[in-house]
Amino acid sequence: MTDIDTTLPRAHGAAVLSAQMRATPEDFFVEELPGFEPSGEGEHLLLTIEKRGMNTAFAAKRIAQWAGVGEVAIGYAGLKDRHAVTRQRFSVHLPKRVAPDLAALQDDAAADDSLRVIEHHWHARKLPRGALAGNRFVLVLRDPQGDRDAVEARLQQMAARGVPNYFGEQRFGRDGDNVANARAMFAGRRVRREQRSLLLSAARSELFNRVLAARVLAGSWDQPLDGEVWMLDGSRSVFGPEGFDDTLAQRLAAFDIHPSGPLWGRGELRSRAAARAVELAALADDEALALRDGLEHAGLNQERRALRLRPAELAWRWLEDGALELAFVLPAGTYATVVLSELGQIRAAAGR
């Protein structure tokens, strides 16, 4: 895990904090919020797992070995980092409905990397990607440097207005290699099928972040432009463009709708007028044009993503040792690191 990207413009002003994150796995706690209740019957054992020092792919492999099944029989909704304590669901396809001994799957909680079962239920279907309502975070920032009043004022701004909904650095790989590799793929380099999807996502994310950065610099990331396409909060549904009126103003203020930006692909941009002009201007240089062309030839279609992200239930407290603890909930597909970046320079602990 690298330091948080600070090259993208902040919406709320200059940095007010520098600190260290992930000094220990316990300093970065993430809990998936389930998107559905177990059916109580079926051939899939639904496990809620708490793991420490272990990423999702490694845990899935462990579970497959324990169950005596191939990894294709394991489902999970989202990917979680290694340098954290995380709770998430996994499903295991067991056609004979015979579950192995759960105790054999669990580790000593004191181990550097450990796994334990919190809950287990039977369910009718394999757990698909994205089947979660969101993620709850509790993060501890060590050795904070900055004026406490300024930090708390910034947090209050973030709670009231939200933050830019950038894609986090996790999408781009170490040193942004995923975007460079996407350009090479579009130029003809052959890549593995599983890598292709990752590179397409990185290219799309790069273009979206450019548009959002332009709107942040212009102060319009959470404000309407002529020709705006609106996204409903908590969904992928969009509407517009249409004239901005008192009803839309109330919905915007209530975080029921958000301005949106393009996830690039084939087809015509839905935005019009000033919103469309900003999007095209931000994506007019040769590098952006090459990414646009590659995504269109790859067969992706134009989609939209909200420009604004509101950390729900945002709370904070200063610990006795001076560390800052933050707690908040984010919808699926958004990043805790972009919330932290609005505070300032947050460094990953050595080796994280």
Active-site positions?
81
CB count within 10 Å of CB 117 equals 15
d(CA 65, CA 96): 17
CA atoms within 13 A on the CB side of 94: 22
Helix residue ranges per DSSP H, the chain: 56-67, 148-161, 177-186, 193-218, 246-253, 273-282, 286-297, 336-341
d(CA 164, CA 169): 14
How many angstroms separate the Cα of 168 from the Cα of each of 19, 65, 199, 202, 282? 18, 32, 15, 10, 19
Helix-strand-coil split of the chain, %, nearest 5: 30, 30, 40
SS3 of 20, please?
A: strand
User: How many distinct helices (H) and strands (E) make up the chain?
Assistant: 8, 16
CA atoms within 13 A on the CB side of 311: 24
d(CA 6, CA 220): 20
d(CA 78, CA 62): 17
Using only the alpha carbons of the chain, give its radius of gyration.
21
Q: Which two tokens stand for residue 283?
A: 């994506």
Residue with tokens 């990917």: 79
User: Is the CB of residue 93 less than 8 Å from the CB of residue 126?
Assistant: yes
d(CA 84, CA 27): 7
